[in-house]
Amino acid sequence: MNRRKTQGSDLPHDLWFNITTRLPARSIARFRCVCKLWNSLLNDHKFIEENLNHIISNSHNHQRLLLDTYGSFYSMDLILMIEGNNDKAAAQKIDFLYKCDVYTVVGSIHGLLLISTLNSARERILVLWNPSTGDSSVLPSPSFAPYDSFDTFGFGYDSSGGDYKIVRLAPKYFTRTPHVDMFSLKSNSWKDVKPPDDDYFFRTFEQVFFSRSLGVAVNNGSSSMLYWKAYGQGTNGLSDILQIQPFNIKDERFEGFVPFPHDFRKESGIAELTELGGCLAIFQIGNSTPLNLCEGFIEVWRMKQDELEHNIKKSLWHKLMSIKVEDYFMRDPCFTGPVCLLKNGEVLIVISYYQGRAAEFFTYDRGEKIMKFVKCPCYGTNNISSNCGSRVSYSETLVSPSTISKRDDL
């Protein structure tokens, strides 16, 4: 053990380091004000990296929920919210410096959120933001083509190179071929990416642009992927085909299509891709039959961990949950989907509605197969809007988007 003591503490430096790297990001931010030396030590990239490794290995203990209530962001402790301790989980408003008309949370990795914004003139900016520290960085515009209101994005992490990457699918008008480019935070630059050669890609991604489908990131060990929902006409020009288009973040290339589950109800409802517990998942809500509008269903499939290399000859999917829901849940939902997989194995689900109904949160107990209502401390107080826009779970970290591109040792 290094017996050298840290200034301002009676503890040996190694012990001080081991203790402080396990503290929450907000506590560390306060300790940076103790003295100049502590500020320097707590901003050191080795300290931030060790703190991040600890958070990743204990991610369930650092989860927070971020809600966009159409113009304002609120954060709350996810564990305390689930436990019903709303006094301690009270929603905290977080200032976002970039004001505009439309906000979309593209994804969250290591406490960094990628926010896509559009103003009244349909001008877009992309912002990497750490809501725990307030650090943010506006990404430079692509060099090949300016942003378009129909652009769709994916936000992923290349664990082999320690780099955060953003993939953009941009429509090229008067042609079926989309433009694909990628931004590397480490190099702070965009570069072109070759789209797939398969003509099916060009047909289906016309629908991706119009649906604003976002790429879903799955980071599991050495396998870092982005997934888009792709759908369109089949080769016979008649029947619709629903597939999943993967993008390998490390190799920076598209891979072969992944099929939906064989028992997926294609004609019965809305399906969205999401990430649950380090795996790709499909969430679907719909009516049990076309003529029965008072009884619906919610189903979730999860890709098996050993199938992340896309050995599609085997069964890719495991049905995580399948439940019937009553008319109450089916009235005017504008969005329904899982937020995250909790430590106890339950699934946290949010249902947002039109017509001013407050968004509702539920947990699904896969053992007892029941849904339990979860009171959200964000609503009903301080004149906070009950409408829910983007919602995402994230971890409190010290990772700063403004410093990653300045380093070459990650």
Asked whether residue 34 is domain-assigned, the answer is no
Phi-psi group of 254: left, alpha or beta (phi > 0 → left; psi -120 to 50 → alpha; rest → beta): beta
What is the percent of the chain where pLDDT is above 70?
70
Within-domain flag for 23: no
Confidence grade of residue 384 (pLDDT, cut at 50, 70, 90): very low
Residue 29 within a domain:
no
Reference 154, options 101, 229, 206; nearest CA is 229
pTM reported for the whole predicted model = 0.83
Taking residues 194-201, report their average pLDDT: 65
Residue 39 belongs to a domain? no
Lowest mean pLDDT among 118-132, 201-215, 310-324: 201-215
Mean pLDDT of 356-360: 65
Q: Does residue 35 lie in a domain region?
A: no
On average, the pLDDT of the chain sits at 76
Helix (H, G, I), strand (E, B) or coil at 288: strand
Residue 196 domain flag: yes
Alpha carbon 304 to chain centroid, angstroms: 19
Q: What is the structure's pLDDT at 57?
A: 78
The confidence score (pLDDT) of residue 156 equals: 93
233 close to 290: Cβ distance less than 8 angstroms = no
Range of the domain at 183: 44-262+271-404
Is 13 among the domain residues? no
Q: 251: part of which helix (H) or strand (E)?
A: none
Instruction: Say which DSSP state 49 is in.
Output: H
What residues contact 162, with CB distance under 8 A and at least 6 apart? 186, 410
What's the domain count of the chain? 1
Res. 319: pLDDT tops 50: yes
Distance CA 144, CA 95 (A): 32
CATH number of the domain within which 182 lies: 2.120.10.30
Using one digit for the tens of pLDDT, what is the confidence trace for 285-310?
776 665 555 667 888 899 876 554 44
Query: 239-256: per-residue pLDDT in tens?
Result: 456 788 889 999 999 888
| Residue 183: pLDDT band with limits 50, 70, 90 | very high
| Sheet with strand 189-192: strands edge to edge | 152-158, 163-170, 179-184, 189-192
**Identity of the highest mean pLDDT range in 58-62, 104-108, 349-353, 375-379:** 104-108
Is 229 domain-assigned?
yes
Q: Residue 338's CB: how many other CB atoms inside 10 A?
A: 22
